[in-house]
Structure 1
Amino acid sequence: SFYYGTFPAGFLWGVGSSAYQTEGAWDKDGKGPSIWDVFTHKKGKVFRNETGDSGCDGYYKVKDDIQLLKELKVNHYLFSISWPRIMPTGIKKQLNEKGIRFYNDTINSLLENNIIPIVSLYHWDLPQVLQEKYGGWQNISMINYFNDYANLCFEKFGDRVKHWITFSNPWAVAEKGYGTGEHAPGLKLGGCGAYKAAHHIIKTHAKVWHSYNNTWRSKQQGMVGISLTSSWGEPLDPHSQTDRDAAERYIQFHLGWFANPIYRGDYPEVMKIYVGRKSAQQGLGTSRLPTFSVQEKAYIKGTSDFLGIGHFTTRYVLQKSSPFLQVSSYHTDHDLAELVDPKWPAPGSKWLYSVPWGFRRLLNFIKTQYGNPLIYVTENGVSEKVQCTQLCDEWRIEYLKGYINEILK
């Protein structure tokens, strides 16, 4: 049973998906290749060399999926638009009308079934052409290309879509895609590439928000936000100042990296200090963490009508100084170590331990740090254990119940 029994009237219940993970039809009806199509087609990049070529065949099963949503009695559905499905090369000169029709039909079908669409403009599937030609999010030109794409979406779908997310989990785009190379496009650019990609993403988000605010808001009356994913960092020893400081750094290097510029106008001070210090140790003349001009700070601050939050797990955090390395890394910049409690229930994915109490602490941190913004929980869930031969419903129920209960509290 839940802590208070029920959620207040008007609470929004929803589920979510992303284009690459569900649609399939990766090269059908005029869709261009994305960086994830190309990345997963290379052997050894993904577990068991799985691809999203078919996904869940969502491209062909929209009506069936929406009926399932109706049976679940959810009133909101978050999905992402595939940029290369409607702009195969990423530029506005080449549009794919079949892709635009697909999303129009999806939105209309949702509304016919009294399900409100929440749309993410970017859930990682950059058009491959923009990666090959310009270097993707390493290149400042992405700001204008993405803004063109966003404005096309506002034009085509904004009369019915009133909740827009610019980027879903940009932390993973920057760090995993351009830092460690574990995600598409697979570039191992260390502590320079991740920060540069994030810098361009933040400026892109702000430009899109201003575009909507100046051109579309008065006509469409919608909202534009961003969805940030962050674990909670709990000090291993709550009585240790160094562990408390390390836990604070953990949150600032994850959530604050993107939230601070949007809500406060600049990167977290602790990021500037630590990355600047590590850069100086490398003999660099300037910090690897880029800077915003005074004008950019003012332009970026306040550019979110709501904050989407993805949250899955928690870590204990302690101070641990990283040895000096000539090769920089986001992970060595923040001088900390992460631990898990062996008593925490373990999932299928080794990183995704069930720690419900961390969610409430994260939400309270956001409330205190960023002025109690309107929050949509955009991502939460758990992977099943490999030994399950069928859906692990009991495991999922316990996980979701615990996390939902913390929201209720």
Structure 2
Amino acid sequence: MAEKDEFVNENNGVNSIGFVNKEVSRADFPPNFVFGVSTSSYQVEGACNEGGRGPSIWDAFTHTQGKIVDHSNGDVAVDHYHRYMEDVDLIAKLGFGAYRFSISWSRIFPDGLGSKVNHEGVAFYNRLIDALLQRGIQPYATLYHWDLPLHLQESMGGWLDKKIIEYFAIYADTCFASFGDRVKNWLTINEPLQTAINGHDIGIFAPGRCENSSIEPYLAAHHQILAHAAAASVYRSKYQEKQGGQVGIVVDCEWAEAYSDKIEDKAAAARRLDFHLGWFLDPLCFGDYPEIMRERLGDQLPTFSEEDKKLLANSLDFIGLNHYTSRLISHVTESSDSGHFYRTQATERIVEREGGELIGEKAASEWLYVVPWGIRKTLNYIAQKYKLPLYVTENGMDDEDDDKVPLNEMLDDKLRVRFFREYLASVASAIKDGVDVRGYFAWSLVDNFEWAQGYTKRFGLVYVDYKNELTRHPKSSAYWFSKFLRGRKGERRSRAHRSLVNALSTAL
């Protein structure tokens, strides 16, 4: 939709460091545009054996030796379960108007089956939702952020069994009934691609399967798509008219920029997007998987019945996009990537141009390069193809945890400030292009358990001192957002910056 991308140069649409030092202000966004922060239940809640919660697949996975880099787990995480009031106060004082959190399925139904509601779990989320609303913060609730009840995995294979669609619908129904009078924005499933691939192909996420990667990831994805549609159908038929809310799904996507002007590389980049976005959005918007996936996967890809297609139709009110980074994509005959899914695409992800210039500055995670122009291209692509409202449901970058670095240096997260300033400028440009983007959620409110990386990576606007009672300390990026949300231009670092951050920490 964009005629010309002001964030890139003319050389393959990529600049060498990603930054253009563009200022952005709250006034660059519509008055009703939503700004929020995101977390997920397993990453922040802790209290793994409290409040009637049942175990999830991530409890089992993290307690299996060798699965987590630093041998940690989410048993305590950052103790959001007990400290939610403190965290809600942080959100309010920073000036955010929304909080995207996920509900732990095993807090509502400890065995996942839906036969007996855990009222302590319902009460916890009621307290959280009420606390948010009392401070003028809108709750955005995700029903599934990877923490499947362990019983469903052990008794029936989790997402590999079609019966899980019914169990998910029962769980969703209970959440709509319990919280829908106050929660008006529902996200059914977070990043189904990661559950399918990292959970059932490469095996680096729970449940850690890689035994039958030519079948299982596609089955897990298929059932997640239908589970979303079943939950949306429940909401449409029983709750939407009375409660007045909306339902979406969260997909994740790196922007795929062709490595060169060669037809093969352009086709490879398009193929990459079909495999990552089209895999989930094509069925929900058009009734079937992308043609290129059918062509390359054949009967390894499940089929939708006519009844399924009726369920899929009109099951999305909006699309949630989790976007962090971008890659140059080239065509290869044999991919070096791990996993059946990636090898099938016959593409290569590249971070350097032919001259050796990086696509963007590298963050802490090996996969994360800072490429602000990529989010604008991704938003334009989705809007043009799927024609639905959009929310950026996650966007952020990480620092390496290093307990040898003084606290004041960890709090002065200069790169993250630049990241948010320029990614937000790119989102604002997408809106000017005509994309219907309605909200933006920073990942993450607080440093937390980062899945296979444990506590070695820090994505938070707020620093959590893991060795000192999980004390919260707002970072420079929190200060920047606070100024931005109050309508002032995002300020560059000044000599007085550290004292201002300290003042904010005291105030919060």
With structure 1 as the length reference, what TM-score do the two structures score?
0.94
Counterpart pick for 1:298 among 305, 310, 326? 310
CA contact (8 A) 2:335 2:342 kept: no
3-state SS, counterpart of residue 10 of structure 1? coil
- Corresponding letter in the other structure for 1:179: D
Could you tell me which residue of structure 1 aligns to residue 422 of structure 2?
402
Counterpart pick for 1:330 among 341, 346, 349? 341
State the alpha-carbon separation in 2 of the partners of residues 55 and 258 from structure 1.
30
CA contact (8 A) 2:201 2:339 kept: no
User: How much has 1:294 moved relative to structure 2?
Assistant: 2.9
User: How much has 1:349 moved relative to structure 2?
Assistant: 0.3
- Corresponding letter in the other structure for 1:127: P
CA contact (8 A) 1:210 1:303 kept: yes
State the alpha-carbon separation in 1 of the partners of residues 90 and 341 from structure 2.
41
Could you tell me which residue of structure 2 aligns to residue 127 of structure 1?
149
2:42 is the counterpart of 1:20: yes
Counterpart pick for 1:350 among 366, 388, 396? 366
Give the aligned length.
395
- Corresponding letter in the other structure for 2:395: N
Counterpart pick for 1:364 among 363, 368, 380? 380
Structure 2 residues without counterparts, runs of 5 or longer:
1-21, 430-508
Could you tell me which residue of structure 1 aligns to residue 177 of structure 2?
155
3-state SS, counterpart of residue 273 of structure 2? helix
Could you tell me which residue of structure 1 aligns to residue 226 of structure 2?
203
Counterpart pick for 2:328 among 316, 320, 326? 316
- Corresponding letter in the other structure for 2:258: P
Residues 172-187 of structure 1: pairs in structure 2 closer than 5 A:
172-187=194-209
State the alpha-carbon separation in 1 of the partners of residues 144 and 318 from structure 2.
16
Instruction: Give the 4+ runs in structure 1 shifted more than 2 A.
Output: 1-6, 385-389
Counterpart pick for 2:237 among 198, 210, 214? 214
Residues 367-386 of structure 1: pairs in structure 2 closer than 5 A:
367-371=383-387, 373-386=388-401
User: How much has 1:392 moved relative to structure 2?
Assistant: 4.9
User: How much has 1:291 moved relative to structure 2?
Assistant: 1.1
User: How much has 1:359 moved relative to structure 2?
Assistant: 0.7
- Corresponding letter in the other structure for 2:350: L
CA contact (8 A) 1:226 1:304 kept: yes
User: How much has 1:298 moved relative to structure 2?
Assistant: 3.2
User: How much has 1:332 moved relative to structure 2?
Assistant: 1.2
User: How much has 1:10 moved relative to structure 2?
Assistant: 1.4
Report 1 or 2 for greater relative contact order, CA contacts < 8 Å, sequence distance ≥ 6.
Answer: 2
Counterpart pick for 2:61 among 25, 33, 39? 39
Counterpart pick for 2:158 among 136, 145, 153? 136
Residues 80-119 of structure 1: pairs in structure 2 closer than 5 A:
80-119=102-141
Could you tell me which residue of structure 2 aligns to residue 339 of structure 1?
350
Once the two structures are overlaid, the 10-residue window that deviates more, 227-236 or 327-336, is 327-336
State the alpha-carbon separation in 2 of the partners of residues 199 and 6 from structure 1.
39
State the alpha-carbon separation in 2 of the partners of residues 120 and 3 from structure 1.
29
- CA gap of 1:328–1:12, structure 2 versus 1, over 3 A, is closer
2:23 is the counterpart of 1:2: yes
State the alpha-carbon separation in 2 of the partners of residues 134 and 100 from structure 1.
25
User: How much has 1:244 moved relative to structure 2?
Assistant: 0.5
With structure 2 as the length reference, what TM-score do the two structures score?
0.76
CA contact (8 A) 1:384 1:391 kept: no
3-state SS, counterpart of residue 188 of structure 2? strand
2:249 is the counterpart of 1:234: no
CA contact (8 A) 1:384 1:395 kept: no
- Corresponding letter in the other structure for 1:291: T
CA contact (8 A) 1:264 1:302 kept: no
Could you tell me which residue of structure 2 aligns to residue 391 of structure 1?
411
State the alpha-carbon separation in 1 of the partners of residues 361 and 296 from structure 2.
33
3-state SS, counterpart of residue 144 of structure 2? coil
Could you tell me which residue of structure 1 aligns to residue 74 of structure 2?
52
State the alpha-carbon separation in 2 of the partners of residues 168 and 208 from structure 1.
14
- Corresponding letter in the other structure for 1:297: K
State the alpha-carbon separation in 2 of the partners of residues 150 and 241 from structure 1.
45
State the alpha-carbon separation in 2 of the partners of residues 323 and 98 from structure 1.
49
- Corresponding letter in the other structure for 2:226: K
State the alpha-carbon separation in 2 of the partners of residues 320 and 7 from structure 1.
41
- Corresponding letter in the other structure for 1:225: G
Once the two structures are overlaid, the 10-residue window that deviates more, 115-124 or 296-305, is 296-305
3-state SS, counterpart of residue 234 of structure 1? strand
3-state SS, counterpart of residue 270 of structure 2? helix
User: How much has 1:3 moved relative to structure 2?
Assistant: 5.3
User: How much has 1:328 moved relative to structure 2?
Assistant: 7.5
User: How much has 1:406 moved relative to structure 2?
Assistant: 0.5
Could you tell me which residue of structure 1 aligns to residue 214 of structure 2?
191
State the alpha-carbon separation in 2 of the partners of residues 37 and 51 from structure 1.
7
User: How much has 1:323 moved relative to structure 2?
Assistant: 7.7
State the alpha-carbon separation in 1 of the partners of residues 258 and 140 from structure 2.
35
Once the two structures are overlaid, the 10-residue window that deviates more, 158-167 or 380-389, is 380-389
CA contact (8 A) 1:192 1:328 kept: no
Query: How many percent of aligned residue pairs carry the same amino acid?
Result: 39
- Corresponding letter in the other structure for 2:326: T
CA contact (8 A) 1:320 1:335 kept: yes
- Corresponding letter in the other structure for 2:318: F
State the alpha-carbon separation in 1 of the partners of residues 310 and 52 from structure 2.
40
What do residues 361-401 of structure 1 show as CA deviations (whole Å, max 9, x unaligned)?
10110111112x11111011001135555235211111111
State the alpha-carbon separation in 2 of the partners of residues 362 and 392 from structure 1.
30
Could you tell me which residue of structure 1 aligns to residue 296 of structure 2?
274
